[in-house]
Amino acid sequence: MGIRVRSVAGVVAVFLAVAAAPAFAQVPLTLPVQSQRATVSQTIGLTEITLTYHRPAVKGRTIWGGLVPLGKVWRAGANENTTISFSSPVTIDGQKLPAGTYGLHVLPADHEWTFILSTVSSAWGSFSYDEAEDAARVNATPQAAPFQEHLAYTLDDPGPDRVLVTLHWEKLRASFPVQVQTNEVVLASIRRELRGLPRFGWQGWNQAAQFCLQNKVSLDEGLAWADRSLALNENMTNLMTKAGLLEAKGDAAQSATLRTKGLAIGTEVEVNQYGYQLLGQKKVDDAIAVFAKNVKDHPQSWNVYDSLAEGYAAKGDKAQAIANYGKARAMAPAAQFDRIDGELAKLRK
């Protein structure tokens, strides 16, 4: 017995229901893929570098010159584009690239590979690759490497302003460097942040000035930032920052005047921190003088003797180091005994 439809509306409803069924049946499920997705990232300074790719396996196949033909652009992974992203501008083999995401391809050959960064990052593999869309090309010499079953990318040897992007698969490895103008990126970030809440406290302006001092960049701007910090709250920390900037610019006399003023108003903690800052700069005698001043001003504090001992130890004066560690231990809380005893044991060897 057939279906009886009593109205035009009923006919339309039945038709739509039947027509819709195949469409719903074609919606794919989300299932694991054989070449699994991976992401590796590294921060250089303030620049985030992220590489996203799919990891094909060797599976006993011939890779170079087989699965991956030589002399043809390869997708540098599996499935859709392998991509590399930079949160700020970078330089690759002298070629400047703006911040953004790029498609990564490789042109392998017998003795030299070419890594290609394309302005198109949303393609499927390299099937629609167009040389006219290249953002940068860099040559690399493949090297023999331990067997690697699944394709792997690593970001190697990160430094203050560079990192190596390395592809490793089967028994070959190849790399290319990415360089970052870290100081420029950080200065741009500082300028942006000082337009916000940090501008209302002395600490933000001092941190900005300290960055200029530590990296010997934009010293005039650093001095202006130090003055903004001092105008909000003059203290030993920002006086020493300005003194360092003046010294870096060659004004030793004014620098010395500010250091004397800073030490005169510094708290025990501030003076101690300044001494360790001098130690970090390998100015050992200056650090000892600062620690000794703290001992004179705060003779009841075990910590000032401990710091002075560390200064003498850095100088190689074991007798003075042992004497001051002994004074520190006699006054210190029991929680410090093991550490101080360890330092004394090293000095007495």
Token pair recorded at residue 189: 């970030």
The 3-state DSSP class for residue 7 equals coil
Identify the pLDDT of residue 271: 95
Going by CATH, does the domain composed of 285-349 fall within 1.25.40.10?
yes
Which stretches in the chain have pLDDT values below 50? 1-8, 10-18
Residue showing tokens 């590489």? 51
Closest CA to 287 of 267, 264, 265, 304: 304
Contact 322, 347 (CB under 8 A): yes
Identify the pLDDT of residue 128: 94
| Rg (alpha carbons) of the chain, rounded to whole number | 32
Identify the pLDDT of residue 11: 42
Closest CA to 45 of 164, 166, 182, 181: 182
The 3-state DSSP class for residue 66 equals coil
Contact 45, 180 (CB under 8 A): yes
Flag whether the pTM goes above 0.75. Answer: yes
| Strand (E) or helix (H) holding 103 | strand 100-107
Beta partners for residue 139, in sequence order: 114
pLDDT digits (tens, 9 = 90+) for 269-280: 999 999 999 999
Closest CA to 233 of 200, 208, 273, 210: 200
**CATH architecture of the domain formed by 181-266:** Alpha Horseshoe (1.25)
The overall longest dimension of the chain from CA atoms, in Å, is 111
Looking at the chain, the domain(s) classified CATH 1.25.40.10 span 285-349
Contact 156, 164 (CB under 8 A): yes
Contact 234, 261 (CB under 8 A): no
Full strand arrangement of the beta sheet holding 134-140: 36-44, 47-55, 82-86, 100-107, 113-118, 134-140
Residue showing tokens 């029991």? 334
Strands (E), 142-297: 143-156, 162-180
Q: What is the rounded distance in angstroms from the CA atom of residue 130 to the CA atom of residue 269?
A: 62
Strands (E), 45-161: 47-55, 82-86, 90-92, 95-97, 100-107, 113-118, 134-140, 143-156
Token pair recorded at residue 56: 């094909």
Token pair recorded at residue 78: 């599996």
Q: Calculate the alpha carbon distances from 210 to 65, 181, 184, 267, 285 in Å.
A: 54, 18, 15, 20, 22
pLDDT digits (tens, 9 = 90+) for 102-149: 999 999 998 999 999 999 999 998 999 999 999 999 999 999 999 999
Q: What is the rounded distance in angstroms from the CA atom of residue 106 to the CA atom of residue 138?
A: 10
CB-count burial class (<10 Å; 0-12, 13-18, 19+) for 261: middle
